């Protein structure tokens, strides 16, 4: 019996292979060749967007002694961008990113250089307006990046959702670092240094971005006598105009929150901390934007968008309540918390813009969304500034972003209810 057992063959031990480690959705994005290169170049080209207006204000106010003139010049440039931006985006869709973005950026860089020289030489005020208006040809690098992701992952909604989350976090990072870098250059190097560096970074970044041709989406030329690709303009696309109105109100939230925070900090004697307070709001937004990218895309994105806008409207009551206490720590916590709803709103909203825009005019549709945001930022900044100057309470400025968020919720809820009523 013992000999039989000893001679019995022993079955080999089965070794189960270890399950492969699941790759992060963000890591999966950058396994596609060329994505790292165009992303790095896009970040370099986007950083000046947070520098140009701050640099212009500091440069003009420092040399002419008038913040009113500086504000009027930058407002003129913003208005010009709202008019020219969609046309530039339409040309990008029609002729390709590389063919249009590079000359458009060259014109914008020359406008910044002209502004610098006019300020330096003491030229008449009208030359400042004309020079800064020329920067309106700056292409929407964030929109072009999103268009590349949409082209590369046209059959993968989950990857597009993750890419949109990453792009929103990148926007937050650039608008967080840009003003800090501009202020540092203008105050420690020279008043003109911020504008000069921003123009150089913009031109270099777009040149590197345009050089990444293998990830560029194909151009969609317009057939003779027809609209682009036979598709309607994005403004006539069903469901897109209400979305743009929501973006307009959301932009008013951003613009008014910034001005209200600066005015409040100035009134309470801690103005140097205003930048840190705004950085907390941007940090909360960027963090939740990245976390949202780890979740699967919503089966009903319109419903998720309504929920995000509702959360934004609810959380933006916190800064108004915290400001009434006069405690900077409570205001910091309120701004950090309020920021957690803005990036999910933008990520989900941009996804809806992509789904509702004709494929051949994707960059134009996203630029219209950015134009709506910029217009809202200008409107919100003006409204919060008026409230800070004319209303007796320093906390009154925070009522503007609260009201703007409530307006965004009303628009979104109305648009969501329209299909049900038609049904």
Residue 22 resides in a domain? no
DSSP state letter for 393? S
Residues 156 and 209 in one domain: yes
Residues 199 and 301 in one domain: no
Residues 412 and 312 in one domain: yes
Domain-ending residue, one of 198, 219, 240: 219
Please give the Cα distance from 28 to 208 (Å, whole number): 23
Structure tokens given for 174: 């650039």
What is the tens place of the pLDDT at every residue in 233-271?
A: 666 677 788 889 999 999 889 878 877 887 788 788 776
Which has more pLDDT, 42 or 265?
42
Please give the Cα distance from 48 to 50 (Å, whole number): 5
Kindly write down the DSSP assignment for every residue of 66-123, as one continuous string. -HHHHHHHHHHHHHHHHHHHHHHHHHHHHH-HHHHHHHHHHHHHHHHHHHHHHHHHT-
> Could you tell me what percent of the chain has a pLDDT over 70?
87
- Quick one: which H or E segment has residue 420? helix 399-422
Which has more pLDDT, 265 or 16?
265
The lowest-confidence range among 103-117, 122-136, 161-175, 324-338 is: 161-175
pLDDT of residue 167: 85
pLDDT of residue 229: 45
- Quick one: which H or E segment has residue 14? none
At residue 219, the 3 state secondary structure works out as coil
Averaged pLDDT for residues 116-121? 91
The lowest-confidence range among 24-33, 64-73, 104-113 is: 64-73
Q: Which one of 17-21, 306-310, 419-423 scores highest in mean pLDDT? A: 306-310
pLDDT of residue 198: 93
Residues 382 and 412 in one domain: yes
Residue 329 resides in a domain? yes
How far lies 22's CA from each of 26, 29, 163, in Å? 12, 14, 18
Asked if 166 and 35 touch (Cβ cutoff 8 Å), the reply is no
pLDDT of residue 420: 45
What is the tens place of the pLDDT at every residue in 122-160?
A: 889 899 999 999 998 988 888 899 889 888 888 888 888
Residue 322 resides in a domain? yes
pLDDT of residue 233: 66
Residues 164 and 186 in one domain: yes
| Displacement of CA 86 from its chain's centroid (Å) | 16
Q: Whose CA is closest to 211, among 108, 99, 90? A: 99
How far lies 401's CA from each of 59, 256, 352, 379, 409, in Å? 28, 6, 23, 11, 12
The lowest-confidence range among 2-6, 22-26, 403-407 is: 2-6
- Quick one: which H or E segment has residue 235? none
At residue 330, the 3 state secondary structure works out as helix
Asked if 143 and 209 touch (Cβ cutoff 8 Å), the reply is no
pLDDT of residue 104: 94
Question: 282: pLDDT confidence band, cut at 50, 70 and 90?
Answer: confident
- Which long-range contacts does 385-393 make (Cβ < 8 Å, 24+ apart)? 385/259, 385/263, 387/260, 388/259, 388/260, 388/263, 388/264, 388/267
pLDDT of residue 6: 43
Please give the Cα distance from 158 to 24 (Å, whole number): 12
Please give the Cα distance from 284 to 336 (Å, whole number): 5
Residue 309 resides in a domain? yes
For the chain, helix, strand, coil in percent to 5 are 80, 0, 20
The lowest-confidence range among 115-119, 316-320, 331-335, 344-348 is: 344-348
Arithmetic mean of pLDDT over the chain: 81
Residue 225 resides in a domain? no
Residues 152 and 240 in one domain: no
CATH number of the domain to which 259 belongs:
1.20.1250.20
Quote the Cα angle for 77-83-89, to 5°: 110
Residue 3 resides in a domain? no
Q: How many domains does the chain have?
A: 2
Residues 51 and 160 in one domain: yes
Averaged pLDDT for residues 188-205? 92
pLDDT of residue 115: 93
Question: 105: pLDDT confidence band, cut at 50, 70 and 90?
Answer: very high
What is the tens place of the pLDDT at every residue in 335-382?
A: 999 988 888 898 888 888 878 887 667 777 777 888 888 788 778 877
pLDDT of residue 222: 62
Residues 59 and 173 in one domain: yes
The lowest-confidence range among 105-109, 203-207, 287-291 is: 287-291
Which has more pLDDT, 416 or 9?
416
pLDDT of residue 69: 80
pLDDT of residue 19: 47
Q: Print the domain residue range for 414.
A: 232-418
pLDDT of residue 401: 92
Residues 162 and 255 in one domain: no
Residue in this structure with the two tokens 């309607």, named with its chain if needed? 232
Q: Whose CA is closest to 133, among 78, 87, 69? A: 78
Which has more pLDDT, 233 or 322?
322
Residue 161 resides in a domain? yes
Domain-ending residue, one of 197, 219, 241: 219
pLDDT of residue 127: 92
Asked if 350 and 146 touch (Cβ cutoff 8 Å), the reply is yes
Question: 207: pLDDT confidence band, cut at 50, 70 and 90?
Answer: very high
Asked if 136 and 80 touch (Cβ cutoff 8 Å), the reply is yes
How far lies 118's CA from each of 192, 201, 372, in Å? 11, 21, 30
Residues 145 and 256 in one domain: no
Averaged pLDDT for residues 44-59? 83
Residues 178 and 296 in one domain: no
Q: Whose CA is closest to 91, among 153, 23, 144? A: 144
pLDDT of residue 409: 94
Q: Whose CA is closest to 338, among 261, 269, 273? A: 261
Residue in this structure with the two tokens 């003003």, named with its chain if needed? 179
Domain-ending residue, one of 219, 253, 287: 219
Averaged pLDDT for residues 209-236? 69
Residues 389 and 263 in one domain: yes
pLDDT of residue 231: 53
Please give the Cα distance from 184 to 212 (Å, whole number): 32
Residue 131 resides in a domain? yes
At residue 367, the 3 state secondary structure works out as helix
DSSP state letter for 58? H
């Amino acid at each position: 019996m013992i000999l039989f057992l000893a001679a019995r063959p022993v079955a080999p031990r089965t070794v189960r292979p270890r399950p492969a480690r699941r790759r992060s959705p963000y890591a999966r994005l950058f396994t596609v060749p060329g994505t790292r290169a165009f992303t790095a170049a896009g970040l370099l080209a986007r950083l000046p967007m947070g520098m140009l207006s701050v640099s212009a204000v500091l440069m003009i106010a420092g040399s002419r002694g008038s913040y009113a003139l500086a504000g009027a010049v930058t407002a003129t440039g913003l208005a010009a961008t709202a008019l020219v931006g969609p046309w530039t985006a339409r040309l990008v869709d029609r002729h390709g990113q590389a063919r249009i973005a590079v000359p458009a950026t060259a014109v914008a860089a020359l406008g910044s250089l002209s502004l610098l020289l006019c300020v330096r030489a003491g030229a008449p005020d009208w030359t400042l307006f004309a020079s800064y208006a020329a920067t309106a040809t700056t292409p929407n690098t964030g929109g072009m990046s999103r268009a590349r992701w949409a082209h590369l992952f046209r059959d993968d909604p989950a990857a597009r959702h993750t890419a949109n989350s990453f792009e929103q976090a990148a926007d937050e990072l650039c608008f967080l670092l840009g003003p800090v870098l501009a202020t540092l250059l203008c105050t420690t190097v020279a008043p003109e240094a911020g504008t000069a560096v921003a123009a150089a970074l913009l031109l270099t970044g777009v040149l590197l971005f345009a050089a990444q041709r293998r990830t560029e989406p194909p151009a969609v030329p317009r057939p003779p006598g027809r609209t682009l690709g036979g598709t309607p303009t994005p403004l006539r696309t069903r469901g897109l105009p209400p979305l743009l109105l929501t973006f307009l109100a959301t932009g008013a939230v951003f613009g008014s929150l910034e001005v209200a925070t600066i005015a409040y900090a100035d009134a309470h004697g801690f103005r140097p901390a205003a930048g840190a307070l705004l950085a907390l709001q941007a940090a909360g937004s960027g963090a939740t934007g990245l976390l949202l990218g780890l979740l699967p895309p919503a089966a009903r994105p319109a419903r998720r968008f309504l929920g995000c806008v509702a959360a934004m409207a609810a959380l933006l009551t916190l800064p108004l309540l915290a400001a009434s206490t006069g405690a900077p720590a409570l205001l910091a916590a309120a701004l950090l918390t309020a920021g957690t709803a803005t990036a999910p709103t933008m990520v989900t909203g941009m996804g809806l813009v992509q789904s509702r825009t004709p494929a051949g005019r994707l960059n134009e549709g996203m630029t219209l969304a950015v134009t709506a945001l910029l217009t809202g930022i200008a409107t919100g900044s003006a409204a919060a500034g008026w409230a800070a100057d004319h209303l007796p309470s320093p906390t009154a400025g925070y009522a503007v972003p609260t009201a703007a968020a409530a307006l965004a919720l009303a628009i979104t809820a109305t648009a969501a209810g329209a299909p049900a009523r038609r049904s």
